[in-house]
Amino acid sequence: MNKKTYDVLALDYHQKRFYPWRDFATFYNKLVKKGVSFNGICADFGCGNGRNFKIFLQSDIKLIGIDNSIEFLKISRNRLRTGNDYTMKEQKSIDLIQSDIKAIPIRPNVVNNIFSIAVIHHIKDLNNRIYVIEQFYAILKNNGYILSTVWRKYQKKYRYHFIRDWLKRLYSSSYRIKQYNLDLGEFGDKFIPWTISKEKLTYNRFYHFFSRKELKKLLRSFKLKEMKKRGGPNKKDNFFVLTKKESEVKKN
């Protein structure tokens, strides 16, 4: 789904997803209590309407909110500038940038931590996902963290769909061709509808649902620190993942 579509969805999304994601906030706070530090320069990729900014501002950080949708960024900016949600200090600690996640405008080894909340599963094609993760690795300082969430493939709601999809992809060439033509070429790809309530218009959003093995492989350049099933109606519909860029080994 291109940025123009996200621009169309932005206001409706904001009205439905105004508050910080509670399940994610709980996970984040537990990590902090365990001694994980998210201080320094942090990038929130796919920041959307800025709903999770307050979670991150609990740490001593300079936050860069990045999104490809100008309408989402306008909403984030208005939230920062109006009302009493943010102190002047908090407002000054957040910068907003419009950018596609595949063209990150940040120099190598600059960012202390990366937040990628419900973003990676919207990236179509494995090669694109690998490229984005490589970019994350490049801009992240040594010993920096990536905190990410993605939708889980075998969550209760979609388990039967993906089991059936796997079997049909395995045994039916015509089905594989059909899915490819629908732009659902990989096992785990699915369109999920989003309906704008006021206008009663529905748009299909692309998702790639992950298995645990698949996600670990995608993030193998980093040290896996924690991976939990969390969030959603069943409380385990997503993978919440903490990974770390280990210090480079110095050669003698």
What domains does the chain contain, in order, with CATH numbers? 3-153+204-244 (3.40.50.150)
Q: What is the pLDDT of residue 1?
A: 60
Residue-wise pLDDT for 233-242, tens only, equals: 999 999 999 9
Q: What is the pLDDT of residue 134?
A: 98
Residue-wise pLDDT for 152-165, tens only, equals: 999 999 999 999 99
Of 54, 71, 198, which Cα lies nearest the Cα of 115?
A: 54
Distance CA 24, CA 16 (A): 17
pLDDT above 70 covers a percentage of the chain that reads 97
Of 208, 206, 204, 232, which Cα lies nearest the Cα of 8?
A: 204
Distance CA 226, CA 223 (A): 9
Q: What is the pLDDT of residue 85?
A: 83
Residue tagged 């770390």 (tokens): 244
Mean pLDDT, rounded, of the chain? 94
Q: What is the pLDDT of residue 60?
A: 85
Q: What is the pLDDT of residue 3?
A: 81
- Cβ neighbours for 1, distance < 8 A, ≥ 6 positions apart: 122, 203, 204, 205, 206
Q: pLDDT band for position 32 (50/70/90)?
A: very high
Kindly tell me if the per-residue pLDDT of 226 is higher than 80: yes
Kindly tell me if the per-residue pLDDT of 136 is higher than 50: yes
pLDDT above 90 covers a percentage of the chain that reads 89
Residue tagged 């300082």 (tokens): 141
Kindly tell me if the per-residue pLDDT of 252 is higher than 70: no
Q: What is the mean pLDDT of residues 196-215?
A: 95
Q: What is the pLDDT of residue 248?
A: 61
**Cα 107 to Cα 86, 100, 135, 192, 221, distances in angstroms:** 28, 15, 10, 34, 19
Of 109, 98, 118, which Cα lies nearest the Cα of 136?
A: 109
Q: Looking at the DSSP assignment, which residues form a beta bridge with residue 146?
A: 114, 243
Residue-wise pLDDT for 55-112, tens only, equals: 999 878 999 999 999 999 999 999 998 867 898 999 999 999 999 999 999 999 999 9
pTM of the model: 0.94
Q: Amino acid identity of 80?
A: L
